A = this chain, B = another copy of it.
Amino acid sequence: MKNIAILGLGVVGKGTADLLEQNRELIEKRIGEPVNIKYILDLRDFPGTPYENRVVHDFNIILNDPEIELVAETMGGAHPAYDFSLACLNAGKCVVTSNKEVVATFGEELLTAAHANGVSYAFEASVGGGIPIIRPLVTDFISNEIVEISGILNGTTNYILTQMKEYGKSYADALKEAQEKGYAEKDPTADVEGIDTCRKICILTGLASGILPDAKKVKTIGISKIEGDDVKLLDKHGYSVKLLGRMTMIYGESWNGASGACSKPCLIVAPFVCGKESPLAHVNDVFNGITVCGNTLGQTMFYGRGAGADPTASAVANDILSILKDGKTSFAPAFVSAKEDDIVPSDGFACRRYIRTDLSADELNKIFGEEFKGVTQLEDGAYITDFAFNDVQFDEILLKLGNASVLRVL
């Protein structure tokens, strides 16, 4: 029998416990022995539930029990989740988590502690809910350099944008509905301003490049300023607006902020206009989709339910069971926190721009000048530039555009 503990019986923790019970027979067959949740750490009791006898309020009971091989941290928040995780790793227990804040902030330290103690620290559930993305990034791109990742990584904002597109709702109305349905929190800032997406693209970048960017230094633009008029106009021409976390590898000399000849990641979080030929354009509602581009493989996409108790619990349970089956050291990615020069500043992220303006194509071309000119006209007063501007280049142009509504294009 394998003994484990769950820290925090919230939505994800309870989902994980329920899944291990629901699929008990299947799991015992696959692992070769039963998996027993010996302890559940929570401040609350859960009288009358199947879990009441396992609830403990003192973390040290778990930490000091040599029978506990693995701990699932599903508490959320930075502290004490981080502290408990580190203590477990240092005590030789594997830790799996759904906590993207802890991974994005303390990932290097926790992975180092895992390596030092001969155990695994796994976090499949921290990005993309139930979508297998963390392990595939680590194991299925071993022959390729990952040159780009673009992801719809937040279900709440994707639900809001889908509502705006499909039903012509305003941002405010769509947000209100998302809150009523429980998809958005009362204070939706972390979702709608892109903070959640930013943490996730940083984690994916860490796995792809070995360098974990500082989420606070990534340019992060949310969806709260998206205008319904733009969503409608773009929809008419076959485009969708999606909040994307994007990472692209930029080669040495092509961005003068980066030194050396090797490739370095450049990240941005922003709403992007996606043409219907992109698979991301068709990822709707609370679903997530993540495209990963390998230098030989070309583009792949991973798609599925990005949030919710069952999908997230599936990812947590996958990590638990993979480690119990394959051994304490079986999941061993490594990344180090980025130093000053490791990451190309977000201003270097180049992309085409959508512009809604009173100006004519001729006037626009005059503003762009010889080097940058050329636009594709969607309709009178709505254009997509042919040139991929980085923000240093485009910020100068923005000053001359007056009242235009502008969005990045995938």
Interface residues of A (CB under 8 A from B): 19-20, 22-23, 26-27, 30, 124, 130-132, 135-136, 139-145, 276-277, 279, 281-284, 294-305, 310-311, 313-315, 317-318, 320-322, 325
Contact = CB atoms under 8 A, between A and B. Distances in A.
Contact of A314 (B131, B294, B301, B322): B294
Contact of A282 (B130, B143, B279): B279
A321 B143 contact: yes
Copies of this protein in the assembly total 2
25 contacts: A22-B296, A27-B143, A130-B297, A130-B298, A131-B300, A132-B136, A135-B136, A135-B140, A142-B318, A142-B325, A143-B317, A143-B320, A143-B321, A276-B282, A279-B303, A296-B317, A297-B304, A297-B310, A298-B304, A298-B310, A298-B311, A300-B302, A300-B304, A300-B305, A301-B301
Contacts of A281: 282
Given A23-B296, A301-B303, A310-B298, A318 B140 contact: yes
Contacts of A135: 136, 139-140
A277 B143 CA distance: 34
A149 B126 CA distance: 25
A300 B132 contact: yes
A322 B139 contact: yes
Contacts of A325: 142
Contact of A303 (B19, B297, B303): B303
Contact of A318 (B20, B26, B143, B145): B143
Nearest to A298: B305
Given A136-B132, A314-B294, A145 B23 contact: yes
Given A23-B143, A132-B136, A303-B303, A311 B297 contact: yes
A1 to B, nearest CB: 17
A317 B139 CA distance: 12
- Most chain B beta-carbon contacts within 10 A, residue among A141, A276, A305, A311: A311
A298 B285 CA distance: 15
A-B pairs, 8 with minimum CB distance: A143-B317, A132-B140, A300-B304, A301-B303, A297-B314, A282-B282, A130-B297, A142-B321
A20 B296 CA distance: 10
- Most chain B beta-carbon contacts within 10 A, residue among A22, A27, A301, A310: A301
Contacts of A142: 30, 317-318, 321-322, 325
Contact of A19 (B279, B296, B304): B296
A277 B276 CA distance: 14
Nearest to A133: B140
- Most chain B beta-carbon contacts within 10 A, residue among A284, A294, A325: A294
Contacts of A131: 300
B144 A314 contact: yes
A178 B285 CA distance: 35
A17 to B, nearest CB: 12
A317 to B, nearest CB: 3
Contacts of A297: 130, 304-305, 310-311, 314-315
A277 B282 CA distance: 8
Contacts of A321: 142-143
Contacts of A296: 19, 22-23, 310-311, 313-314, 317
A140 B136 contact: yes
Contacts of A145: 23, 26
Given A143-B318, A143-B320, A322-B142, A299 B310 contact: no
A299 B140 CA distance: 20
A169 B146 CA distance: 37
